[in-house]
Amino acid sequence: MLLKETWHKLTEEKSYWITPPDLYKELDDEYHFDFDPCPYPMITDGLGIPWKKMNYVNPPFRKKDGSPTAFVHKAIQQQQLGRSSVLTLPTQSYVNLLLEAGAEVRSLGRVKWLEAKTRKPMNSPSPITMFYLRGK
């Protein structure tokens, strides 16, 4: 049976956070999960095993348990095998505000921003997401 309580690590303290049952039920009613690679308590290495047809992924935030990025990579790999996943990941509040306003989203990759005075490109840029808010 699928464990309905999953967790993720928010701090380096020894506390874990499980999905509120009402949120899980809402998502499960829509997507019909058959696997949770990140259950609490962690009973297996969710990154080292195949996932199932519809996965609920609330990844841990401790490196020893696998980072959110590792679980995103695994979900993309599983997608290529015809398996679907719902991932719950923290975001900045402005991202949710833009999504709730109907923003269209596009990855711009790692933009090498130019230093204002020298015009030299940034050495180690972060990934950048473009948000387009269409006028109504």
Residues 50 and 109 in one domain: no
Q: Are residues 101 and 79 in the same domain?
A: no
Does some domain include residue 19?
A: yes
Number of domains the chain contains: 2
pTM of the model: 0.78
Tell which phi-psi region holds residue 102, choosing left (phi > 0), alpha (psi between -120 and 50) or beta: left
Whether 1 is in a domain gets the answer no
| 9: CB partners within 8 A, 6+ apart | 16, 17, 60, 61, 62, 65
- pLDDT per residue, tens digit, the chain (136 aa), is 444 444 444 444 556 778 999 999 999 999 999 999 998 887 778 899 999 999 999 988 766 656 888 999 999 999 999 999 999 998 999 999 999 999 999 999 999 999 999 999 999 999 999 999 999 8
Instruction: Mark whether 37 and 79 lie in a shared domain.
Output: yes
Q: How many CA atoms lie within 13 A of 69 on its CB side?
A: 3
Q: Are residues 83 and 118 in the same domain?
A: no
Same domain, 62 and 112: no
Distance, CA of 86 to CA of 81 (rounded, Å): 15
Q: Which domain does 36 fall in, by range?
A: 7-87
**Domain check: are 75 and 17 in the same one?**
yes
Pair 20, 61 in one domain? yes
- For residues 50 and 136, what is the distance between their CA atoms, to the nearest angstrom? 44
